[in-house]
Structure 1
Amino acid sequence: MSHYEIYGALGSPYSMKVRAAMRAKRLVHTWTGMTAEERGHVMPNVKAPVIPVIRRPDGSWTNDSTPFLLSIEGEGRSLLPDDPVARFACLLLEDMADEWFMKAMFHFRWAYAEDAEWCANWLMFDSLPNAGLGAIEPAAANIRERQISRMALVGCTPQTSPLIEASWRRACHALEAMATGPTRFLFGNAFSLADAAFYGQLKVMSYDPTPMAWLRRETPYLYRWLDHADDASGMDGAWAEDIGAPVKTLLALAGDTYLPFLKANADAADAGKEAFGLMIEGGRYEQGVFKYQAKCLASLRAAWSELDVPARAQLDAWIGPGAEILNG
C-alpha cells in the first residue's frame, strides 16, 4: 500500500504538527524519528536542511509543513473549515503559531540554563540512539552552543524576552478557554490546521522544564488537551457554525502583534535592510529580516483578497486596526 513517509523528531514542533495532522486526516503514513545516520540519506532530497522531511507516495520529497498540508487538503479529512471567514481565521492563526508563537518555544528552550541542558541532551539522545553518554553529551553541548548563538537572529534576546513571554501567555489563556469550552478544538469538534500548529509548538514545550511548569500551573486543561490533539484520528465532529471567543481573542492578538511584526519584516526586506524593530506587546522587538516571513504576509494578503466585503468586515472587527495590513 502506498503511504507517506514522515522523517522528523519528537523535539521538533513542526514534526509533531505534521504527525498530528496526518493522524487527524486518517492518511496512511509511517513515522520515523530521524537519527544522525538517517539524515545522510534523507536530507539530500530537500533544499533546506529542516525537518520534518516527507516522502510522498509518488516518490517526491518536501519539508515545508504548511504548503505540504495545504497540498493534501483534498485527501482524507479536511483541516480547513468550509466557511470562508473561519477558513481565513484558521490560516492566519496557523501562520501565527508557526512564525510568532514558535519564538516562545525557542526562547524558553535556550534562554534558561535548565531548559537548555535538558533539551539539548534530549534532542541528542533521540538523534544518537545507543551511542552512550560519551557521545550524546558532547554533541548536546555543541548543539546547545549553536542554538544559543542564533537567538538574537530570530529575536530572542534578554530585551525581547518579556514581550515574547507575555504574548505567549495571552495565547495560552485563549487556548485554555478553548480546551474548557463547548467544542474540542478551535473551530468546532473537527481538528483544524490551526490546532495542529499550536499543538506542535506546545507539545515540545510541555516537556521543557520552564514552560511545562507554567502550563501545568496556569493552563492545566490546555496541558491535558495536548494529549487529545496528539491523535484525533478516532474523533468525529463537525465545524462550528460560529466563531468562538477563543478564536476571536487569538485574532485580536494577531492584529496587535503578529501582523505588525510581519509588516515590519516585509518593509525591511523591501528596503534591503538586514534587521528591523518595532513596538509590540508594550516593548521594543528586534530581529533579523527573514524572507520566508515576507512570503507568509504575501500569502495571507492573497487569501484576504479572495474574501468578499462582508467576510472582510467581520474579520476586521475581530482582528482590529491591524487588519489594515492585510490590504497591502
Structure 2
Amino acid sequence: MSNPYKVHGALGSPYSMKVRAAMRAKRLPHVWVPMTADIRGDVLGQVKAPVIPVIQTPDGHWTNDSTPFLLALEDEGRALLPPDPVQRFACLLLEDMADEWTMKAMFHYRWHYAEDAEWCANWLMYDSLPLAGRDQVEQAAAGIRERQISRMALVGCTRETKPVIEGSFARVTKHLEEVALGDTLFLFGNRPSLADLAFYGQIKVMSVDPTPMAFLRKDRPYFYRWLDMADDASGIDGEWTEAPGGPVQALLGVAGDTYLPFLSANEEALKAGHETFSLELDGKPYTQGVFKYQLRCLMALREVWKDLPDEARSTLAGMIGTNAAMLG
C-alpha cells in the first residue's frame, strides 16, 4: 500500500478516537491529521454530512461514518468482529449501543455541568485553533458552548433525563469494569473488537472531563486504566472466546431493557410523523427529538438478526430479554 489512510479527526471527538484506535488495532498504515480550523472547510467539503472523523482512503475516496467505514474494512488487517454468529451479533449490537446510547452520557456530562462545559469548550477550541492564543480560543469556546448547550434537549440530555442517562452510564461502566478485571482483556477475548473500541471512543473523551473523570477514577478505576490499553492495542495478540462471557451477557441485558426500547420508540415516532418521542426507561421518563439515523441503525441490526441461524437467535434472545422481539 503506497498511501496510508488519512484520519482527519479531533481528540475530543469520540468517533475520531474510535476510528484511530480501530486503525491501530487492525494494524493498518494510517496517519492522524488534526482537524484544525484552517483545513476544516476543505475536508468537510469532501463528505455529505459535516461530521468527523473524515477519512481519506489510499485510493482517494472520502468517507466519515465510522461504523460503515470500519465494517467495510473488516477483511483488511486484523478482524474486529468475532466469527461466531452469536458473538458477532452481540458485538454489532453493543457497538451500536455505545455509538448511539453511551453517546448520550458523553454529551450530557460535557454540557450539563458548568465546570465541564467550560473545560470542554476551551479544550475543543484549543485543538481547533492551536496557534490562536488564549483570548481567541476562549472567545471561540464561548460560542461552541452556547451552541452545544442549545442542542441538549434535541438529543435527549435534559434535567428530566439526567437520572436515566447517569444511571445507565453507571450500569454500563460497572460491566466494563468487570471486563477490565475479568478473565480476558476485552469483551470477546484477548483481542480488541469493534464493540470494545466504540465504548473506548465515547468514554475516553469523558475520562478527561472533570465530572465523569472523577467518577471513573473513584468507582471504575481499572476500567479507567483499561482505556489506555485500548487506545493502542496493535501489539496485543490473542484469540476470541467461544461464547459471550458474563459482562457481555450483562451488557446485552442493558441493550434489551434500555437501548432497543429507545430505538423502537424513535421508529414509532418517525412513522407517526412526530418530532419528539417519550418513553420510560428504568422507571424514569426519557424524551428527545426523533433521528432518522437511529432508525437506520435499528434497520441494520434487524437485517443481521434476520440472517442469523435460529439457534443463534434463540441464544441471543435469552440474553437480551423479551425486547429481543423488537429485532424481529
TM-score clears 0.5: yes
Deviation at 1:242, TM superposition (A): 1.9
Q: Distance in 2 between matches of 1:270 and 1:295?
A: 13
Counterpart of 1:304 in structure 2: which amino acid?
W
- 1:182-211 Cα distance to aligned partner (Å, 9 max, x none): 100000011000001000001000000000
Q: Percent identity?
A: 67
Q: How many residues align?
A: 327
Q: Distance in 2 between matches of 1:241 and 1:312?
A: 16
Q: Distance in 2 between matches of 1:198 and 1:133?
A: 32
| Aligned pairs for 1:240-255 within 5 A | 240-255=241-256
Q: Which residue matches 2:85? A: 84
Q: Which residue matches 2:19? A: 18
* Alignment gaps of 5+ in structure 1: none
Counterpart of 2:97 in structure 1: which amino acid?
M
Q: Distance in 2 between matches of 1:40 and 1:95?
A: 28
Q: Which residue matches 1:4? A: 5
TM-score by length of 1: 0.99
Q: Distance in 2 between matches of 1:308 and 1:314?
A: 10
Q: Which residue matches 2:318? A: 317
Deviation at 1:133, TM superposition (A): 1.0
Q: Which residue matches 2:285? A: 284
CA contact (8 A) 2:280 2:286 kept: yes
Deviation at 1:33, TM superposition (A): 1.1
Deviation at 1:159, TM superposition (A): 0.2
Deviation at 1:41, TM superposition (A): 1.4
Counterpart of 1:125 in structure 2: which amino acid?
Y
Deviation at 1:310, TM superposition (A): 0.7
Q: Distance in 2 between matches of 1:70 and 1:225?
A: 24
CA contact (8 A) 2:21 2:231 kept: yes
Q: Distance in 2 between matches of 1:213 and 1:20?
A: 24
Deviation at 1:114, TM superposition (A): 0.2
| Aligned pairs for 1:30-49 within 5 A | 30-49=31-50
Q: Which residue matches 1:303? A: 304
Q: Distance in 1 between matches of 2:230 and 2:23?
A: 12
TM-score by length of 2: 0.99
Q: Distance in 1 between matches of 2:182 and 2:111?
A: 33
Q: Which residue matches 2:158? A: 157
Counterpart of 1:187 in structure 2: which amino acid?
F
Q: Which residue matches 1:172? A: 173
Q: Distance in 2 between matches of 1:287 and 1:266?
A: 13
Deviation at 1:64, TM superposition (A): 0.2
Deviation at 1:100, TM superposition (A): 0.4
Task: Report the 3-state secondary structure (helix = DSSP H, G, I; strand = E; otherwise coil) of the residue aligned with 1:185.
Answer: coil
**2:264 counterpart of 1:266:** no
* Alignment gaps of 5+ in structure 2: none
